[in-house]
Amino acid sequence: MKTIDMMSPKAPAFFAAVLLLLPFFSSPALAGMEKVPQPRFFIGAAAGYFYPRQDAFRKIYGKPLWPVELQLGWNPSRKMSVFGAVRYLETSGSTVLLAAQRPEEKYALRWRQATLRLGMNFWPLPSRFAPFLGAGVSYSFYREQWLDAPLASEGRQAGFFVQTGGRYRLGRRFHALVQIEYSAISAGGGSGLSRSVNLGGLNLSLGLTAGIF
C-alpha cells in the first residue's frame, strides 16, 4: 500500500489561525500593564490535542489523541523561563490491512509513550497576557502492545520541539496557558506502511501554572 506522508490541511490551518489571534489578546493587556513580582519557580499542568505528523501512525491510531503534561520551571528573569516536563500519551488502534486476501485479519494495538522535555521560553512582552517563543529537546520512551497476541515492540528516541503561545495572569501566582508546538522524533525504520517513522507532530494544549516561591 502506498501512503503519502503529509498532514491534512485542516489541522495546520486551525493551528495557524490560533497563532494569528494571539497578538490581539496581548495588545489590550499591554495598555494596562502593571509590575507584579514574578515567582522564581513554578509548577504547571496541561492537556491538549495531538495531531501526528506520520500518515502511517494516523492510519493505525485514527482516534483523537489527548496527551497530558506536568511541568516544573524556573524564571531567571521576566523575559526568560527554563522548564522541565514529562508528557504522557496512551491510545489504542488496530493493524492496517496490507493485502486483500484476508480482510478479517486485524489485531488490536495499544500505544504508550512517555516523553521527558527540557526547554526554554522567551517572553518579549511581559504583561497580563504575555506571548512567548520557545524551543527544547526531548527523550521519549514508547511501547506498542498487541492485545490479541504475545507481541510487543518498544524503544527510546531523542527529538526536539519548537513552540509558541501565551499565558494570561489570573492572580499573583496563577496563569492560564495556551501553547502550540511542533515536535520531531525520528524513530528509525518503519513497516509496510512507511519506510521511516516520525513520532512528532502538532500539539495544541491548554493548562494552568502556579508560582511556588
Residue indicated by cell numbers 482516534: 63
* H or E element in which residue 15 lies: helix 10-31
Structural domain spans, the chain: 41-95+119-211
The more confidently predicted of residues 3 and 34 is: 34
Choice among 52-61, 107-116, 185-194 with the minimum mean pLDDT = 185-194
Position 12 confidence tier, pLDDT thresholds 50, 70, 90 = low
Q: Count CA within 13 A, CB hemisphere, residue 185.
A: 23
| Burial letters 117-146, b for 16+ CB under 10 A, else e | bebebebebbbbbbbbebebebebebebbe
Asked if pLDDT for residue 55 goes beyond 80, the answer is yes
Distance CA 159, CA 107 (A): 29
The dihedral region occupied by 201, where left means phi > 0, alpha psi between -120 and 50, and beta the remainder, is left
Asked if pLDDT for residue 174 goes beyond 50, the answer is yes
CATH 2.40.160.20 fits domain 41-95+119-211? yes
| Model pLDDT, residue 33 | 47
Task: Judge contact between 108 and 148, C-beta under 8 A.
Answer: yes
| Model pLDDT, residue 8 | 52
Share of the chain above pLDDT 90, in %: 57
* pLDDT tens digit sequence for 137-173: 999 999 999 988 888 989 999 999 999 999 999 988 9
Choice among 6-10, 63-67, 74-78, 192-196 with the minimum mean pLDDT = 6-10
Could you tell me the three cell numbers for 148?
A: 490479541
